[in-house]
């Protein structure tokens, strides 16, 4: 998929020809490239007063949309939260901190950066605890990484949410890129992320409270046992 996307992408208003296979027939179509803006968060109010918030990545609009979700859910009397972080590869650290602050008390540590076992920086929650006290379940899987693990880890450690699904990816390193001669560069790990209870995220991941696997057959059949389990816990 990544290779295909790389070939399709290009300057705005230029054309790209695609060859599609429909059954045994090949069809060629020409499309014009354009800017595509996909929100990083999708949300809706489900039956039972459940506010479902799916975060696909942590980009610069994530916390803004989560705030919109909080307002919408409140206006519709939703008092339970289901956060879907499955296959969320991460993104901006500051957005993870801001989103975590909807649950974590202001001033409490959301994640720490450690080097050689010593804390070099602690990232703390800011004001804005819109979801404080609301029953919350978070969905994670092996595709949940980096910033999504920071959010899941903080909510789990503070007892603010129940995690459902599969163990997360385990991407918890802080890296910097240093230039070398000849135009080359080297990426160096300078620290690692730790949850509030001092758990190293890197290469270890976050374990769910309720482990629920999903099979290929279930996916093909449109079934989602992980979300179903989460909805049961929120009843």
Over pLDDT 70: what percentage of the chain? 99
pLDDT value, residue 51:
98
pLDDT value, residue 2:
59
Burial 99-127 (b: 16+ CB within 10 A, else e): bbbbbbeeeebbbbbbeeeeeeeebbbbe
pLDDT band, residue 8 (cuts 50/70/90): confident
Rounded to whole angstroms, the Cα distance separating 177 from 183 reads: 12
Rounded to whole angstroms, the Cα distance separating 155 from 189 reads: 26
DSSP assignment of 215-231 equals: -HHHHHTT--HHHHHHH
Known catalytic membership, residue 146: yes
Of 114, 98, 102, 84, the C-alpha closest to 158 is 102
pLDDT band, residue 93 (cuts 50/70/90): very high
All domains in the chain, ordered by first residue? 2-32 (no CATH), 41-212 (3.90.226.10)
Q: At 146, list the tokens.
A: 């980096």
Catalytic member of 148, 157, 173, 227: 157
pLDDT band, residue 183 (cuts 50/70/90): confident
Residue 214 vs residues 7, 51, 139, 140, 185: alpha-carbon distances, Å = 32, 23, 12, 12, 40
The conformation of residue 106, written as its DSSP 8-state character, comes to T
pLDDT value, residue 21:
86
Cβ pair 163, 109 in contact under 8 A: no
pLDDT value, residue 223:
97
Rounded to whole angstroms, the Cα distance separating 60 from 45 reads: 24
Of 4-13, 38-47, 119-128, which gets the smallest average pLDDT?
Answer: 4-13
pLDDT value, residue 77:
96
Give mean pLDDT, residues 94-106. Answer: 98
pLDDT value, residue 199:
97
Of 197, 193, 190, the C-alpha closest to 149 is 193
Of 196, 218, 211, the C-alpha closest to 150 is 196
pLDDT value, residue 35:
81
Over pLDDT 90: what percentage of the chain? 81
Of 11-25, 137-151, 204-218, which gets the smallest average pLDDT?
Answer: 11-25
Q: At 95, list the tokens.
A: 């957005």
122-174: per-residue pLDDT in tens?
Answer: 999 999 999 999 999 999 999 999 999 999 999 999 999 999 999 999 999 99
Catalytic member of 80, 114, 156, 171: 171
Catalytic member of 146, 148, 168, 173: 146
pLDDT value, residue 1:
57
């Amino acid at each position: 998929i990544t290779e295909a996307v790389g070939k399709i992408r290009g300057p705005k208003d230029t054309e790209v020809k695609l060859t599609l296979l429909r059954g045994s027939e090949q069809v060629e179509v020409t499309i014009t490239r354009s800017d595509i803006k996909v929100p990083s968060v999708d949300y809706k109010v489900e039956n039972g007063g459940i506010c479902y918030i799916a975060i696909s990545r942590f980009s610069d609009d994530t916390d803004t949309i989560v705030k919109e979700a909080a307002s919408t859910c409140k206006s519709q009397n939703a008092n339970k939260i289901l956060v879907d972080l499955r296959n969320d590869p991460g993104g901006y650290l500051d957005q993870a901190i801001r989103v975590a602050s909807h649950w974590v008390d202001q001033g409490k540590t959301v994640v720490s950066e450690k080097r050689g076992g010593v804390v070099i920086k602690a990232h703390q929650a800011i004001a804005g605890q819109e979801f404080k006290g609301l029953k919350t379940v978070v969905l994670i899987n092996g595709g949940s990484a980096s910033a999504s693990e920071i959010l899941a880890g903080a909510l789990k450690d503070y007892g603010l949410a129940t995690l459902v699904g599969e163990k997360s990816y385990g991407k918890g390193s802080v890296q910097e890129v240093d230039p070398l001669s000849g135009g080359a560069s080297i990426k160096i790990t300078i620290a690692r992320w730790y949850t509030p209870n001092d758990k190293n995220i890197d290469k270890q991941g976050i374990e769910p409270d309720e482990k629920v696997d999903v099979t290929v057959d279930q996916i093909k059949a449109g079934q989602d046992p992980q979300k179903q389990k989460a909805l049961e816990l929120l009843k």
